[in-house]
Amino acid sequence: MKNTIRASQIRGFTLMEMMVTLIIAAILTSIAVPSFTNLIRRNQITTYANEFATSVNLARSEAIKRGRSISITSNNGTDWTQGWNVNIVATGELLRTAPALTGDNTFTSGANNTVTFNGRGFTTLGAEENWSLCNANVVAGRRIRIEVTGRISITEINPCP
């Protein structure tokens, strides 16, 4: 006896069911993509803030270790968006360089384009200094503060200036 399959036994999707499924998937995707984009932008801000904090901590620890002044210098005045360098002040030897920020990010300080740590790990700023790290498309940003003692802190600012 031969097994035969009748047309009524074949199961699958109809064209109408497939179209409804695709429309629902398109709607869900259009809702999820903007949220995902904002998540990526917020994570970029956090990454850049941590990168700067790492450079500050490197400069401070190297200043203490070497007993020499180490500086972090902006590549573009008080606009740190173009990146920064960590250098030994006396010799100009480059210890670390940070690339420019990408996207609609801004990274500015109040008035300084250089932070220098002396051999004891203190800054030569005379007062605490604040940096603002923001993205034009995200409401919240990060404020990075360096105290005279060399201590660094990162806080969220909302709204971003």
Contact present, 146 and 116 (Cβ < 8 Å): no
pLDDT tens across the length of the chain (161 residues): 566 767 666 677 788 888 999 999 988 888 877 778 888 888 899 999 999 999 999 999 999 999 999 999 998 877 899 999 999 999 989 999 999 998 888 888 877 789 999 999 999 888 889 999 998 888 889 999 999 999 999 999 888 77
pLDDT digits (tens, 9 = 90+) for 24-70: 998 888 887 777 888 888 889 999 999 999 999 999 999 999 999 99
User: CATH for 15-157, among 3.55.40.10, 3.40.50.880, 3.40.50.1970, 3.30.420.10?
Assistant: 3.55.40.10
Q: Residues 149, 51, 117, CA angle at the centre, nearest 5°?
A: 30
Are 86 and 96 contacting, i.e. CB atoms less than 8 angstroms apart? yes
Give this prediction's pTM: 0.78
Q: How far apart are CA 26 and CA 41, in angstroms?
A: 23
Which residue has 């809702």 as its token pair? 31
Closest CA to 97 of 109, 83, 107: 83
- Tokens 């400069």 belong to which residue? 59
